[in-house]
């Protein structure tokens, strides 16, 4: 613990020095850091997918820097400091874990999450379980989180087969919309199908965002193999010729 506290104190000291002496650091605001923080978050997510422990360690440090940076700016504005933020966090964790710090009994992780959501709503004085889902989340992540939250209050199918039935129902409705040729209706049905598939992923305990990102990576690697091994310009190749190289890339992946 002493080692960790010393490292944290060292980081806080360096931040103080940077805000006093570095022109770039002095210039930063909440708004100017926002996009950089989002970028750092995605870099951490990439490192996690790559199972790159060195990268994960580095990106955790970068995100921690941003957290400390925001707290330092707030301290200068005499709004709050890092200690206030951390104490609020500790109070929240204690309050939302009554099975650890109180006399509430839980049987499993579902009970824990159900209590968490109920306590969170009481704390924030909000009436909807969906009120805690950030508006700026990517659409796939947002859909997954909304489905998770509503499921905790019992709004979900009893059996996974029913979820797949919904996927097939939405697929048929999309096909009907395509046959009609109504662009607005097609868009609506595409959205419904995505939402149903994301829900099916949740029942399978598969993170759809992670699954899609892995497919993106696979597609990128295979297409780059085509580019690197194409005997002529891609625009001069037939689809069959490119597909042959695509299949070569698949064989290399498996080997």
Percent of the chain with pLDDT over 90: 84
Residue 231 pLDDT: 95
Residue 173 pLDDT: 97
Average pLDDT over residues 197-215: 95
Q: How far is CA 187 from CA 99, 174, 184, in A?
A: 45, 9, 5
Q: Are 174 and 197 in contact (CB under 8 A)?
A: no
pLDDT in tens, 91-138: 999 999 999 999 999 899 888 888 887 888 788 777 788 888 888 889
Residue 40 pLDDT: 96
Residue 2 pLDDT: 94
Residue 126 pLDDT: 74
Residue 141 pLDDT: 93
Q: How far is CA 149 from CA 116, 157, 194, in A?
A: 11, 14, 18
Banded model confidence at residue 154, pLDDT cuts 50, 70, 90 = confident
Q: Which CATH class is domain 2-82?
A: mainly alpha
Average pLDDT over residues 150-168: 93
Residue 120 pLDDT: 82
pLDDT in tens, 48-69: 989 999 999 999 999 999 999 9
Number of separate helices (H) and strands (E) present in the chain: 12, 0
Average pLDDT over residues 222-247: 96
Q: What is the Cα–Cα distance from 119 to 176, expressed in whole angstroms? A: 44
Contacts (Cβ under 8 Å, ≥6 apart) of 77? none
- 143-153 core/surface letters (b: 16 or more CB in 10 A; e: else): bbbbbbbebbe
Q: Are 166 and 130 in contact (CB under 8 A)?
A: no
pLDDT in tens, 167-176: 999 999 999 9
Residue 255 pLDDT: 83
Mean pLDDT, the chain, as a whole number? 94
Average pLDDT over residues 31-40: 95
CA angle at 127 for the pair 123 and 130, rounded to the nearest 5°: 95
- Residue 168's nearest CA partner among 141, 131, 193 is 193
Residue 202 pLDDT: 96
Q: Are 82 and 68 in contact (CB under 8 A)?
A: yes
Report whether pLDDT(232) > 90. yes
């Amino acid at each position: 613990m002493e080692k960790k506290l010393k490292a944290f104190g060292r980081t806080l000291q360096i931040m103080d020095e940077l805000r006093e002496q570095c022109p770039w650091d002095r210039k930063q605001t909440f708004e100017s850091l926002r996009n950089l923080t989002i970028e750092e978050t995605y870099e951490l997510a990439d490192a996690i997918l790559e199972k790159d422990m060195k990268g994960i360690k580095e990106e955790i440090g970068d995100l921690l820097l941003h957290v400390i940076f925001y707290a330092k700016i707030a301290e200068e504005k005499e709004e709050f400091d890092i200690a206030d933020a951390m104490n609020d966090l500790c109070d929240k964790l204690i309050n939302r874990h009554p099975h650890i710090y109180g006399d509430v009994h839980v049987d499993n992780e579902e009970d824990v999450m159900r209590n968490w959501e109920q306590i969170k709503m009481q704390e924030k004085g909000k009436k909807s379980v969906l009120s805690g889902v950030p508006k700026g989340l990517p659409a796939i992540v947002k859909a997954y989180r909304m489905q998770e939250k509503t499921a905790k209050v019992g709004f979900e199918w009893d059996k996974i087969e029913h979820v797949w039935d919904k996927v097939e129902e939405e697929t048929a409705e999309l096909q009907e919309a395509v046959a009609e040729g109504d662009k607005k209706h097609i868009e609506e049905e595409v959205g419904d199908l995505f939402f149903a598939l994301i829900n099916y992923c949740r029942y399978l305990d598969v993170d759809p965002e992670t699954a899609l990102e892995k497919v993106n990576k696979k597609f990128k690697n295979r297409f780059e193999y085509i580019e690197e091994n194409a005997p002529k310009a891609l625009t001069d190749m037939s689809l069959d010729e490119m597909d042959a190289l695509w299949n070569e890339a698949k064989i290399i992946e498996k080997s």
